[in-house]
């Protein structure tokens, strides 16, 4: 699955350790946001993300352990870099494919996904809600950008009732939709659109969801 994802992407690559592999270093090359340990430091744009993904002994019954190795400023990533899949909208089952997890991690890296009700970094949550000067997602590309460039991914628009909120300080036509606890968990193995990017306007307006077929 990871090899197929890497082949479909100019953004994603990975290295595996052990045979059979039970630990991976995931690399995403694209824009994200980072801040050093000082509370007074500025949030800056970065272009490299590396993540340690480990399969526990009980995998696939238990989810992989995930930790960001490079700095990332994001509500869903703790100061020590750990990510809880339940906090980022993935209800783990043994049928969830690892490439779907990687797609979610890229959307976290580029600021296309966050869940303010499950923030692991409250300072980042407050910054994104009140201070963020960046247009989000900061990198507009899907992780499967080779497929998108070749036109093999069909973009589907669906009308649904408004769910979640968006960062108020991201005034652009490419905005970030934030899910909340009322947002249903998608069926990831069937490739349902699990990180919609859309915007909610007025209660009389429609919400546009964009996702892979």
Distance CA 147, CA 54 (A): 27
Query: How many residues are given for the chain?
Result: 213
**CATH assignment, 2-211:** 3.10.110.10
- Mean pLDDT for the chain overall: 78
State pLDDT tens for residues 27-41. Answer: 999 999 999 876 678
Least confident of 25-39, 83-97, 126-140: 25-39
93: left (phi over 0), alpha (psi -120 to 50) or beta: beta
Q: Tell me: pLDDT of 109 over 80.
A: yes
Report pTM. 0.71
Q: Tell me: pLDDT of 117 over 80.
A: yes
State pLDDT tens for residues 69-81. Answer: 999 999 999 999 9
| Domain ranges, ordered by start, for the chain | 2-211
Q: What integer pLDDT is reported at residue 12 of this predicted model?
A: 98
Total Cβ atoms within 10 A of residue 22: 15
């Amino acid at each position: 699955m990871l090899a197929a994802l890497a082949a479909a992407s100019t953004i994603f690559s990975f290295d595996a350790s052990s045979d059979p592999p039970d630990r991976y270093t995931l690399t995403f090359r694209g824009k994200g946001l980072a801040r050093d340990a000082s509370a007074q430091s500025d949030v800056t744009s970065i272009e490299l993300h590396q993540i340690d993904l480990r399969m526990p002994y009980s995998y696939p019954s238990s989810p992989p352990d995930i930790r960001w190795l490079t700095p990332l400023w994001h509500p869903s990533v703790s100061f020590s870099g750990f990510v809880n899949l339940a906090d980022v909208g993935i209800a783990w089952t043994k049928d969830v494919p690892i490439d779907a997890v990687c797609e979610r991690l890229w959307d976290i890296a580029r600021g296309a996904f966050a869940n303010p009700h499950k923030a692991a970094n409250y300072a980042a949550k407050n910054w994104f809600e009140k201070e963020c000067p960046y247009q989000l997602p900061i990198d507009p590309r899907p992780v499967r950008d080779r497929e998108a460039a070749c036109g093999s991914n069909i973009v589907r628009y669906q009308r649904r009732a408004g769910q979640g909120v968006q960062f108020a300080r991201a005034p652009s036509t490419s905005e970030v939709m934030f899910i909340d606890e009322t947002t249903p968990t998608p069926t990831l193995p069937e490739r349902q659109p699990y990180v919609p990017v859309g915007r909610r306007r007025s209660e009389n307006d429609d919400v546009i969801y964009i996702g892979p077929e």
